[in-house]
Amino acid sequence: MRIQTAGERSVIWAIVLGTLVRREFHGRLDGAADIAVSATDLATNLDVSVSTSAYVELPASADTKWRGTIPPAAGWRLIEDIPARALIDAVEAAGASLTDLEDHALNAAADSMLSQPVLTVDAPGETPIELSLRILLCLTRMGFLAGERADPGNVARVAVNGPWVIIATMQGAVYRRTGTIDLLGLS
């Protein structure tokens, strides 16, 4: 994971299911101006600090292991606001289609389904943006959609900036770089 701190705000980036996820929080992490660390090592350090009330030390830098490109901070064009409930329904429908499969077919189908478009976002004068199950699943698994507790007014904002697509909620954001050959869609 990559941690960036500026002033009293910190951002944590992670690669999840081939997407780049971002969560921002109010707080300062000493030594984390911009550093990649092992998520496992950070979790271990956090566990120790919770049980001992000790200061949390950041793990050693793992910058050479970071394989993602951070998207631009500015220049995003809003395409559409999608009700959070519609995204949750799309993920649940995809999951329901897997329940009837035999075990041997389930793994192959699940891998294939991650890349399949589940929703298409259209805006006048824009190329349609296909949102894959991979992106929507990251939104739900990371807790960026509130699930059954979702306020009917909650939305996910879809925006673009060059080859990047972002789906952002109040809890966090998922990014995907389109038009790349690599399997992660992040370079």
Q: How much is the pLDDT for 102?
A: 66
Dihedral of the alpha carbons of 49, 52, 54, 58, in degrees to the nearest 10: -20
Q: For residue 120, what pLDDT is reported?
A: 93
What's the predicted TM-score (pTM) here?
0.84
pLDDT of residue 148: 57
Query: Which residues, 6 or more positions from 168, have their beta carbon under 8 angstroms from its beta carbon?
Result: 156, 157, 159, 174
| Mean pLDDT of each 10-residue bin along the chain, 187 residues long | 87 91 84 86 82 76 88 94 91 79 68 84 86 91 76 88 94 87 49
Q: What is the pLDDT of residue 187?
A: 45
pLDDT for res 126: 79
